[in-house]
Amino acid sequence: MADTTPRLTVPDLLEFKEEGRRITVLTCYDALFARLLDGRVDVLLVGDSLHQVLGGHDTTLGATLGQMIYHGAAVVRGSRRSLVFVDLPFLTYQVSVTEAVRNAGRVLQETGADGVKLEGGVTMRETIGALVRAGIPVMGHVGLTPQSVHRLGGYRVQGRGRSAAQRLLADARAVEEAGACAVVLELVPAALARRISRQLAIPTIGIGAGPGCDGQVLVLHDMLGLNEGFAPRFLKTFADLGPVVRKAAEAFSREVRDGRFPSRSHSFD
């Protein structure tokens, strides 16, 4: 019988927080992985990390709106139950509020996604408010914000020390007050992330922010062990697929060279 379970909704995220049910988020960039993950995690995040993970770049800065829309639409096509959020890439929402609304609107219209994610706290208050007033669900992102990697001086823990912690708390509060439905806390000391999670009514989704958040996000290719050599402290690899892929490629080449593949059973009469 066909599975008729409906797709999660944005208000479900808030309900999960109220019920104390932890929210699970994985990045997803294509329809194939979306089909595998669908219904097994609450949210599929089409992160601009795809520029690094798939594109081999050092930062997310070069991701374009066109790329995000292409990958976002693929993930929506491959899923029926998980929520889909798409990252707004660098310079598509920072220049003006009007541009932000137009670009985020395009993402929703052209992908069918449920919402967008953008980086920044206090400085993004007005933008988040305008998007939410336009009917666009927004997930915030504070702490280590990869689109500001050059200003921050690298991919390092944020919010250490009293004044930095106060600023981070103010950022998270601003995101909530502007109307966001959730906020990612990236590379934040665990005690601070727990404090922020307790103070906010919207769910916090941590990455490198300890166990006190309302949910957790990881980059899919990292947690599957496909991004070999990338082993930050916060990452747990839940599968080791790198060697599996390498062995399969070697077996394919061996069998083709030996004349064992394709066999008769793989051929047409």
| Residues with a known catalytic role | 186
Which residues, 130 to 149, sit near ligand KIV by CB under 6 A?
141
Dig out the tokens for 104 from the structure. 């985020």
Question: Residue of minimal CB distance from ligand KIV?
Answer: 47
List 193, 213, 219, 224, residue binding ligand KIV (CB under 6 A): 219
List 217, 223, 224, 226, residue binding ligand KIV (CB under 6 A): 217
Whether the CB-CB separation of 63 and 51 falls below 8 Å is answered with yes
List 44, 84, 184, 185, residue binding ligand KIV (CB under 6 A): 184
Q: How far is the CB of 6 from ligand KIV (least distance, A)?
A: 25
List 180, 207, 209, 226, residue binding ligand KIV (CB under 6 A): 207
Indicate the angle between helix axes 65-77 and 97-111, nearest 10 degrees: 30
Q: Name the segment binding ligand KIV (CB under 6 A); options: 5-13, 41-49, 70-78, 130-138.
A: 41-49
23 binds ligand KIV (CB under 6 A): no
Q: Where are the alpha helices (DSSP H) in the chain?
A: 10-19, 31-37, 50-53, 65-77, 97-111, 125-133, 149-152, 162-178, 190-199, 220-223, 241-258
Residues β-bridged to residue 38: 41
- Of residues 38 and 87, the one with the C-beta less far from ligand KIV: 87
Listing DSSP states for 191-226 in one string gives: HHHHHHHHH-SSPEEEESS-TTSSEEEE-HHHHTT-
List 38, 43, 47, 139, residue binding ligand KIV (CB under 6 A): 47
Query: Pseudo-torsion of CA 164, 169, 172, 177, nearest 10°?
Result: -130
Q: How far is the CB of 27 from ligand KIV (least distance, A)?
A: 4
- Of residues 38 and 48, the one with the C-beta less far from ligand KIV: 48
Phi, psi of 98 (to 5 degrees): -60, -45
Q: How far is the CB of 219 from ligand KIV (least distance, A)?
A: 5
49 binds ligand KIV (CB under 6 A): yes
Dig out the tokens for 110 from the structure. 């052209």
Which stretches of the chain bind ligand KIV, using CB under 6 A? 27, 47-49, 87, 141, 184, 207, 217, 219
